Amino acid sequence: MLKIIFYSARFESEKFAQIYNIPRENRLIGSSQATANNYRQLAQQVQVLHFCYHAKYCRDNPLESQLKLADGSITLGQLMTPSRRLLQLVEVFLSCCETNLGTPSFTDDILTISTGFLCAGARSVVSTLWSVNDLATALFSIFYYQQRQEGINRPEALHKAQIQLREFTKLDLNKIFQEVEVREKELIGNRKKYPLDSIEYEQWKLEYNMYTKLNRRIKEIENSTQQFPFSNPHYWATFICHGLR
């Protein structure tokens, strides 16, 4: 099954690329690739879309709610346009903020980015009800796809992933992210390999910032007194699934 990954310094996307052996031509990496034009071209070809760039819900005008790309955005209004139909999409995972946030007091229907993908033809959409934590979302996404690989349907996979995230401990964090510190040191050693104005340098900087941020967050959790760092519902209750099982 073809996949497409959008990402802006997200550890989860790198993990998925490894797990599913996703070819580079089906991945939009960083600001040089995650453009509106590249999205339109690839979105017509793939069956599974995992989007982990940025998103924003527009309360005053829900149709202007958007998935942000490097050179623009995809709005809910565009997703609901008949010419933007994506009938081949089997599964969409919107790993970003507020993709199922709505304001029903403004309209009889809840107009969300998640709704937009369903209207465009997607069979199923996993989305979020509020702003999300990067590290918690990365973990949840990994847990979710592990369940899906075992043949578990979408709602049950989501439920099991929520439980895993809620019961996740500091010791578990070390097991999953043990390579983060090693990779950060490797990247520091590669700092002077690429010219400052090159695409290679931009990609290096993107990856370096990702691992630096992750490593800092992991150390904060390790130094905290919380045994279950993501037990608060804010981290795991934000995820919701709509569409077919």
Map residue 72 onto helix, strand or coil: strand
- Whole-prediction pTM: 0.85
User: What local confidence, expressed as pLDDT, does residue 227 receive?
Assistant: 92
pLDDT digits (tens, 9 = 90+) for 3-60: 666 654 466 777 777 777 787 778 887 667 888 888 888 888 889 888 887 888 888 8
* C-alpha 229: how far from chain center: 20
Could you tell me the two tokens for 123? 């069979």
- Percentage of the chain beyond pLDDT 70 is 91
pLDDT digits (tens, 9 = 90+) for 114-139: 999 999 999 999 999 998 988 898 89
Map residue 108 onto helix, strand or coil: coil
DSSP string for 180-229: HHHHHHHHHHTTTSS-TTSHHHHHHHHHHHHHHHHHHHHHHHHTSS-SST
Instruction: Please give the angle made by the CA atoms of 83, 84 and 90, to the nearest 5 degrees.
Output: 135
Could you tell me the two tokens for 91? 């599964």
The full set of domain ranges for the chain reads: 3-133+236-243, 170-222
pLDDT digits (tens, 9 = 90+) for 190-239: 888 888 888 778 778 877 887 888 888 888 888 888 899 999 999 999 99
Burial of 93 (0-12, 13-18, 19+ CB in 10 A): buried
User: What confidence category does residue 69 fall into, taking pLDDT thresholds of 50, 70 and 90?
Assistant: confident
CA dist 83 and 209 (Å) reads 38
Could you tell me the two tokens for 18? 């490894």
